[in-house]
Amino acid sequence: MIYAVAALLLFQLLGECIVQVLALPLPGALVGMLLLFAGLMWRGRAPEALARTGGTLLQHLMLLLVPSVAGVMMHFGRVAREWQPFLIACVVGAAVTLVVTALTFQWMLKLRAKAGR
């Protein structure tokens, strides 16, 4: 577990350094995730200890986010003022995203089946 946590922190640190040095507009942890993904691709599969520790962290990712999400209490005024555009944008956005993605994927599968024949 200690090795796994150390590995995750190391990849995050590498990601943060790369973001700083190259001035990338990305979260450092995301770059760390891409580096780990590349490492796992090269290695074939995740070591068991890493898979277990990572699994535990991800299972409770929502708990880790609670303090940040609670920050919405600082913006109650904005939410009260703009709840209509906010909510409608979320609902319409979700519908559009779902339809566009599903149709594109289905259409690509059909193209592929035709090309394969």
Partner 1 sequence: MSADVFHPAWSVLSHASLTWLTLTLLAYAAAVWLFRRAGGNPFLIPVLTTVSVVVAVLLATGTPYAVYAEGTRFLTFLVGPATVALAIPLSGQLARLKELWLPVTVALVVGSIAAIFSAVLVAWALGGSLETLISLAPKSATMPIAMPVAERFGGLPSLAAVAVAITGIVGTIMSRPLLNLLRIDDPAARGFAIGLTAHAIGMAREIQAHPTAGAFAALAMGLNSIVTALLMPFVIGLLHRAGIL
Examine residue 2 and tell whether it contacts partner 1 (CB under 8 A): no
Q: Which of 80, 112, 116, 117 binds partner 1 (CB under 8 A)?
A: 112
Q: Which of 1, 3, 20, 58 binds partner 1 (CB under 8 A)?
A: 58
59/47 Cα distance (integer angstroms): 18
Q: How many CB atoms lie within 10 A of CB 5?
A: 14
Residues between 14 and 53 that touch partner 1 (CB under 8 A): 15, 25-30, 32-34, 36-37, 40-41, 45-46, 50-51, 53
Q: How many CB atoms lie within 10 A of CB 39?
A: 12
90/95 Cα distance (integer angstroms): 9
Examine residue 5 and tell whether it contacts partner 1 (CB under 8 A): yes
Q: Which of 55, 114, 116, 117 binds partner 1 (CB under 8 A)?
A: 55
Examine residue 98 and tell whether it contacts partner 1 (CB under 8 A): yes
Structural contact between residues 32 and 11, judged by C-beta atoms closer than 8 angstroms: yes
